Structure 1
Amino acid sequence: MSTEVTVIEVGPRDGLQNEQTPVSTEDKIELISRSVAAGVRRIEAVSFSHPRLVPQMADAEAVMAGVPRVEGVSYIGLVLNRRGLDRAMAAEVDEVNVVVVATDTFSTKNQNVTTDRMLETWDEIAAETPAGIRRSMTIAASFGCPFEGETPPERVAEIARRAAAAGADEIALADTIGVGVPAQVRTLTRLVREAAPGVPLRFHFHNTRNTGYANALTAVEEGVTVLDASAGGFGGCPFAPAATGNIATEDLLYALHRSGKTTGIDEESVAETGAWLGTVLGKPAPALRGRAGGFPQGRTS
């Protein structure tokens, strides 16, 4: 089992998209710059969604114009349609991520299309993304839907099969509303690997019901080496009732480092960033690592 785990910082996009306090372009670039300086090498920087629907992401192009271009750092842009892909390419992202919601009701509320129609959009985007740009699919509501209840694991596997058929470079399974438990992580990991053999798998957890970190460690035990997290533990989906924050990057790093995993990311620096972001948003960061400190003292990566 690999000791290296890649942690993708999703705070600039998923961490901020549901926040009511406007965040300036300069502060978004500062958040990204802090993450790069801490050692993060994959960052979900922006979403190319409609500004009316997700106003916090209205300055996506301006953010991408100001991010530090450092060798080895890859910037991910969320795209939901061909227009979004065109904007992402013009902004020079390194990866495009397409969200496909696993249930029709949530998909319609979130993206105004059914799951099958979004899969058609995925096929189009995957086919038209230029060579050299990574294409990933995030399967949202993989663990449960706020409107339909349990999400059938077989449906998630079916969507993953479609992702692989179109040439996905990575598939992410998202617990969008934070209802998942470790047993589901094990089941979905095995089903998706069967459905999409050879396609790298990553997970995106929310800590709504305090299971996010247990789920993340379970995924690592299953051999998954890529996890999403948000500095400070901010985040949530604007279209999911009562959806609270992502697992906090600094808290996840603590759990991984104490479990003998390496990430290349400075834990203390991220904790400081989480606290700073709380001041920008005008509320305390949900993360706990920044309050309690590390252990043993001096262990930061």
Structure 2
Amino acid sequence: MQKEKDILKWFNGEISSEEIQQLYPNEDFETLQKIGFYSKHLQAPKLDKHKALQAFKHKQTKKTPKVIPLQIKTFLRVAAVLIVFLTASYFIFFNNTKSFSTAVAQTETLQLPDDSEVILNAQSNISFNKKTWKDHRTLNLDGEAFFKVKKGQKFTVQTSVGFVQVLGTQFNVKARDNFFEVTCYEGSVSVTQNSNKTVLTPGKTFRVVNGTIVNVEDLNSNAPSWLLKESSFNNVPLWQVINELQVQYDIVITAKNIDVSVPFTGSFTHTNKNIALQAVTIPLKLSYKINGKNVELYNYEAE
């Protein structure tokens, strides 16, 4: 796994402590540092320098192949086994990262250690460190989730695009490919994306599409529509609507000679594939063909 490789690189000094903490902020670095300390202080067996020099000259005279002394070979084997054992022990006994994922068309409600609630939308993942949660309420999100946060220490949601911080409130975060959106439903939410920091109040939304911040009209809702098995969109590019259709239904959609950047405002149900496709295609004067799990969208006026 990549995480284990990166941590071994850190042990060997190939990655700095700052870099490894940025890559894996939820890891228990106090335990990792202890493992690294003991592995670095392994002692090689003492060798007789005079005998080693004579042996080296003798081998050079005979031009024989270089042979690693048996003691060094033994030490290297023991050191390698010990490092592997220490690293494996960390991931078996000391790795406190908890993660939860959902599949296509699946949602899941989770209780965090502080009794905050998270509802994961389809094809989404969250992870956090349960050991440090009391002092640092931080989790990673890939996908979409609705949060009901208990008041207390600062609560942070980290994504690949930006992060969200609150003390206690209700909000929705969507972080999918080239699309990042945060909507506040209660209290206030601080959103940081690159150097941009925005504070949202109820009904306000912060959205980034393909790296560009997009203005969004205020909402009149108490919760995201997907909690009621419906996806709603307000001036969202068609490609994002297509992606969401694929997340909610086990299908692959292709668009034939269609500009997928056109904006779409509307909604589709999560309970009927045909009705959902019609809800998206009819307003845009499009049609579709279904072939098993493959769906093709096309412009029927061009047919």
Which has more helix, going by share of residues?
A: 1
Q: Same fold (TM over 0.5)?
A: no
So what's the TM-score if we normalise by structure 1?
0.29
Indicate the structure whose relative CO is greater, using CA pairs within 8 Å and at least 6 residues apart: 1
**Which has more radius of gyration?**
2
Which has more strand, going by share of residues?
A: 2
So what's the TM-score if we normalise by structure 2?
0.29
